[in-house]
Amino acid sequence: MPLEQKIKYENDCDKEFAKWVSSQTGGENLRHCIQCGVCSATCPLSLYMDYTPRRLINLAREGFKKEVLSSFTIWLCASCYACRVECPKEIQVTDIMYLLKRKAIEEGVFPRRFPIPVLAREFSRMIFMFGRVNETLLVTDLFLRTNWFKFLSMTGLGLNLIRTGRLSVLPDSIKRRGELRKVLEAIESDEKKEAAK
Amino acid sequence: MKYQYFPGCSLKGTGRAYEESFLAVFKALGVEISELEDWNCCGATAYMSVDETKSYALAGRNLAIAERAAEDVIAPCSACYLVLNKTMQGLKDHPELKRKVTSALKAGELDYKGTAKVRHPLDVLVNDVGLEEIKKRVKNPLTGLKLAPYYGCQVVRPFATFDDQHNPVTMDKLIATAGAECVTWPLKTRCCGGSLTGTVPEAGLRLAYIILKEAKKRGAQAIVTPCPLCQFNLDGYQDQIARKYERIDMPVLYFTQVIGLAMGLSAKELGIKRGIISAEAALAGR
């Protein structure tokens, strides 16, 4: 078994990343965390996480960029906000998970073949095209891109949805698609300008 | 009474029984509902993982359109309700974000002021229509039916002000008004698995199973929910849960279906048959 460093030294971390996290919407009061662990205790998914929410918060604010961005934790967060409501220091844990997800997608470091980043990307693409989301098409697209074999196991659910009249095959669309695109494109050009600065 | 209505993608798709029963109940109560003109997807939980400013702008477009009329907006889907309220709060708290979003909306000739009011149908039924008024219209009380009120996560957390975040009770009151019995249980707001049932089923299915198992253990004949994703997860994945854990056979109804039945509306107009796990036996057997 290869030896692995289990305890982190201060110079193993990225101070710039730590600063960046605290500067983002939702990360402002990250320093107030007292590491009580209520977030981990209340989280219904912490049993599957590589770092519990408490540990993730500590790693993020100390600047352990690689560990945080490549973790399963951020992708397992289902945004139920239980941690945020229970936190005695009002840390916005859910929003911190979101900003870390965005950074992980931006830097392309999320776990490969993990379907959630793919879902998020396809979701936003569908909105850009139609302004609305057709759940059936989204899920079909997701499985064909990530795990078409798993798609076969979903046929039972698909048939049940057809039987109960809950499956739509045609994409729903807004009328003024151009209006929505103009809004989204305005943000893109704004972001590009800022990045160029 | 008049309201604007923000359906969201689910109520037009897999959650159409929610739309059917919501519209039928509000019509029978004499509440006027008009669908928000050219609404777009709220962005749900997925868009926030891709782009923050865009996700606020996406919800901002809906809010800007809603502001053109004076009426409050009803958003029955928990994710839509949360996202629209989160956007209003976020744009209020972060002036720089608001500047970016309002200027982008201007590019689409949309004017965002932040004056819309986004409400949940639970809030409207209990606080605007009133339980007394609903009780007067109950023709067919659901006596003897045991129901588990399941709120799910996003309807009360973290932005809702109409109910308690730890122990919400508005739906309990509506179930009691319909003449049915409320099961007492601690999982009212525990996560159903959200989109993980599809993306990471080994984790998502377990979360849904925990809810179903506990409701059955407590003697519920059906689960009642105000959320289309909770309904979908708990109802749609029971075959897969049976293969992995055990068969539960628990119907999952919308609270609007329950009130509608008590008010004497037909099962057809309430979309009762759209449940994958049939509620017929539970409704007939009481």
What is the domain partition of chain B in residue ranges?
Answer: 2-119, 139-285
Question: Exposed, middle or buried, A24 (CB in 10 Å: 0-12/13-18/19+)?
Answer: middle
pLDDT band at A148 (very low <50, low <70, confident <90, very high): low
pLDDT band at B286 (very low <50, low <70, confident <90, very high): low
Question: How big is the A-B interface in CB pairs under 8 Å?
Answer: 192
Which B residues in the span 145-184 are in contact with A, Cβ-Cβ below 8 Å?
A: 153-154, 157-158, 165-166
| Cβ-nearest to B104 among A124, A167, A190 | A190
pLDDT band at B159 (very low <50, low <70, confident <90, very high): confident
Class of the domain covering A10-107: mainly alpha
Average pLDDT over residues A27-45: 97
> Which pLDDT does position B142 carry in this prediction?
97
Average pLDDT over residues A33-51: 97
pLDDT band at B127 (very low <50, low <70, confident <90, very high): very high
Residue B87 scores a pLDDT above 90: yes
Average pLDDT over residues A126-136: 91
Which B residues in the span 179-238 are in contact with A, Cβ-Cβ below 8 Å?
A: 189-191, 193-196, 198-204, 207, 236-237
Spatial separation of the C-alpha atoms in residues B160 and A165, rounded to whole Å: 32
> Which pLDDT does position A147 carry in this prediction?
67
Which B residues in the span 56-85 are in contact with A, Cβ-Cβ below 8 Å?
A: 57-58, 61
Inter-chain contact B195–A120, Cβ cutoff 8 Å? no
> Which pLDDT does position B164 carry in this prediction?
94
Residues sharing a CB contact under 8 Å with residue A136, sequence separation 6 or more, in sequence order? A158, A161, A167, A168, A169, B13, B14
CATH of region B2-119? 1.20.1050.140
Q: Facing residues of B225 across strands?
A: B254
In the chain, the amino acid numbered A76 is: L
Could you report the per-residue pLDDT of B100-117, keeping only the tens digit for each? 999 999 999 999 999 999
> Which pLDDT does position A11 carry in this prediction?
85
Q: What is each CA distance from A16 to A64, A95, A110, A118, B285, in whole angstroms? A: 10, 20, 20, 28, 64
> Which pLDDT does position A195 carry in this prediction?
83
Residues of chain B with pLDDT > 90: what percent?
93
The answer to whether the complex's ipTM is over 0.85 is yes
Inter-chain contact B203–A185, Cβ cutoff 8 Å? no
Average pLDDT of chain B, as a whole number: 96
pLDDT band at A135 (very low <50, low <70, confident <90, very high): confident
Determine the distance in angstroms separating the CA of A2 from the nearest CA of chain B, rounded to an integer: 29
> Which pLDDT does position A6 carry in this prediction?
78
Average pLDDT over residues B189-214: 94
* Cα Dmax for chain B: 58
Residue B184 scores a pLDDT above 80: yes
Inter-chain contact A127–B43, Cβ cutoff 8 Å? yes
| Cβ-nearest to A184 among B38, B52, B54 | B54
pLDDT band at A113 (very low <50, low <70, confident <90, very high): low
Residues of chain A with pLDDT > 90: what percent?
64
Inter-chain contact B49–A120, Cβ cutoff 8 Å? yes
Q: Look at the domain B139-285 and name its fold.
A: Rossmann fold (3.40.50)
Given a contact cutoff of 8 angstroms between Cβ atoms, the answer to whether B100 and B53 are in contact is: yes
Inter-chain contact B49–A101, Cβ cutoff 8 Å? yes
Given a contact cutoff of 8 angstroms between Cβ atoms, the answer to whether B168 and B154 are in contact is: no
| Cβ-nearest to A102 among B50, B153, B199 | B50
Which B residues in the span 240-279 are in contact with A, Cβ-Cβ below 8 Å?
A: 240, 273-276
H or E segment to which residue A10 belongs: none
Spatial separation of the C-alpha atoms in residues A151 and A156, rounded to whole Å: 10
Which of A12-16, B54-58, B230-234 has the least mean pLDDT? Answer: A12-16
| Cβ-nearest to B48 among A76, A98, A176 | A98
Inter-chain contact A187–B47, Cβ cutoff 8 Å? no
Residue B132, chain A, CB below 8 Å: the answer is: no
Q: What is each CA distance from A156 to A159, A161, B176, B240, in whole angstroms? A: 5, 9, 36, 9
Spatial separation of the C-alpha atoms in residues A69 and A28, rounded to whole Å: 19
Q: Facing residues of B149 across strands?
A: B224
Residue B21 scores a pLDDT above 90: yes
Average pLDDT over residues B42-55: 92
Report the Cα–Cα distance between both ends of chain A, in Å, rounded: 48
Determine the distance in angstroms separating the CA of A3 from the nearest CA of chain B, rounded to an integer: 30
In the chain, the amino acid numbered A163 is: R
Alpha helices for chain A (secondary structure H): 15-23, 38-42, 53-62, 65-69, 73-76, 82-86, 93-107, 115-130, 135-146, 148-153, 155-163, 177-196
Determine the distance in angstroms separating the CA of B236 from the nearest CA of chain A, rounded to an integer: 6
Determine the distance in angstroms separating the CA of B110 from the nearest CA of chain A, rounded to an integer: 9
Torsional class of A38: left (φ above 0), alpha (ψ -120 to 50), beta (otherwise): alpha
Q: How many CB atoms lie within 10 A of CB A182?
A: 17
Inter-chain contact B166–A157, Cβ cutoff 8 Å? no
Could you report the per-residue pLDDT of A156-191, keeping only the tens digit for each? 888 999 999 999 888 889 999 999 999 999 999 998
On chain A, the residues whose CB falls within 8 A of the CB of B107 are 182-183, 185-186
Residue spans per domain, chain A: 10-107, 115-196
Inter-chain contact B110–A184, Cβ cutoff 8 Å? no
> Which pLDDT does position A144 carry in this prediction?
75
With tokens 């407590």, the residue in question is B218
DSSP states along A47-69:
GG-SS-HHHHHHHHHHT-HHHHH
